[in-house]
Each structure stands twice: as C-alpha cells, then as structure tokens.
Amino acid sequence: MSKMNTDSTKVKYQNANDKMGQMSDDKDLAHPFFTHMGMPHEVGSYSLRLAALATQIDGKTNGDFAFHFETGLSKFIGLHIRNDRFLQESHTEIMFQFAAIRSRDGMSGFSPIIEFEIPTKKGASRINTLVGFSTAIVGSHLAFNQVIHYDPHDDMVDGSAALVFKASKRVFLIAEILGEKMPDEQAIINLVGGVKIKLNENFMLGIGYQQPVTTNRDFSNQFIFQPDIEWKNNNTK
C-alpha cells in the first residue's frame, strides 16, 4: 500500500472516530432525580447526584438531603451508593450492577443487581440484602431507565422508571414514577417531574417536584433541588 493510501486511510479512520465521539456526546443525557441508571458506568467515569429536599408531612415542611454516587468497577460491573432521605432513612444502599446484555455503545441493555442496605442511623442494626434488575434504552435525545428491587426478608418490592428528554443542548426534561409494595398494604406510587440545566461539562442543576398519587403515602409533596457532578479519570485505560 502506498504512503498516500495509508495516510488517506488514517484520515478516514480518524474521521470515523470523531463521528463516533460526537454520537457519544449526543447521548450524554442528564441523570434522573432518583432512578438508578439502567447500565453500569464505564471504568474511570464518576457521577455524584446531591439533593436538597423540602418535604411536606402533615402540613409541616421538613428539610433533608440525598446523595447517589455511581462509578464502574470493571467493564461489566457498576457500583451505586445511595440514600434518598439521609436524615429519615435508617439505611444507605450499596448496590452492585452486572451488565448481562448491552448494546454496542454500552448505553442500553439489561443488568441484574444485588444490593446491601447498610445501617447508617442509630438504632438500626440489620443489613438487608435485595436482588433485582435494571434496564436502559438510550437514544440521542431520549433515555429510559428502570429498576426493580425485591427484599426477601420483608417480601417487599420497590422500583422506579424515568424518562429523560434532551430539549436543547443544555436543557433536559425529566419524568419519573417511583413505587413500593409491602404485603397486606396498598402500594405507594409517586410521580416526579422537573428540569435539569447543564452549566458546564461537569456540572448540572436540577429542580423537581414529587407528588404521591395513592392514598397510602409517606408525605404530601416534595420539592427537589439537585446539583449533579460528573467527572472522568483520563488516566484510566
């Protein structure tokens, strides 16, 4: 092969890589407010969702905060550490997510999960073990993420699903449904709606509102203010 043909091949290969990188950037959508991502993060990629919560219960507004950290431990295993109401909840979740089926770009697929709820509040002692699965379907402007957990000890099922729509380069519209079902009790179902704005490559701000839609409920309503931080370790191979 001549040098000219070799150089031409290199240019075409570089252009293809540039296009693939652009496609990856287009799929860089916002995270939901509460729902787990359906697929593990890649190794060297980190996400931290923080949230200030104003929750109304019996006519009184209580302040709380939440956090959700995600990263990839290997090509197929992701880690989540999360607590949606730190001052109220007695346990913090540590979840391992295993990518069993995934698309070529790694954004869509199916992941079994195992979760350990670790006591983080005085008076709590038992470590709960949950199993479940998550799924994701991601396009250039729309992402669907879903997760189901099952607690064998309490025979409880909980889960959530979220849609994230890229309305513009920096604006993302988010809708979520969250629910749980205990034995001999009516299900609890909440709806979440909000918007997130991308301020720079690593930082977003979100404002959301959560409203129960069932008579069995934990609170009357909730306002959410959520900063999102994402970063990558460029030295990771």
Q: How many domains does the chain contain in total?
A: 1
- Residue 101 inside a domain? The answer is yes
Distance CA 53, CA 228 (A): 14
Residue 166 lies in a domain: yes
Q: Which pair of tokens denotes residue 202?
A: 């690593």
Per-residue pLDDT tens over the stretch 15-26? 444 333 333 344
Residue 2 lies in a domain: no
The answer as to whether 236 is a domain residue is no
Of 10-14, 85-89, 162-166, minimum mean pLDDT range: 10-14
Residues 6+ apart with CB under 8 A from 51: 33, 65, 66, 67, 224, 225, 226, 227
> Does some domain include residue 199?
yes
Q: Considering the domain boundaries, does residue 114 fall inside one?
A: yes
Structural domain contains residue 145: yes
- The predicted-structure confidence for 178-215, as pLDDT tens digits, reads as follows 999 999 899 999 999 999 999 999 999 999 999 999 99
**Domain, as residue range, for 174:** 29-231
CATH number of 94's domain: 2.40.160.40
- What is the value of pTM for the model shown? 0.85
Residue 70 in any domain: the answer is yes
Q: Is the pLDDT of residue 3 over 70?
A: no
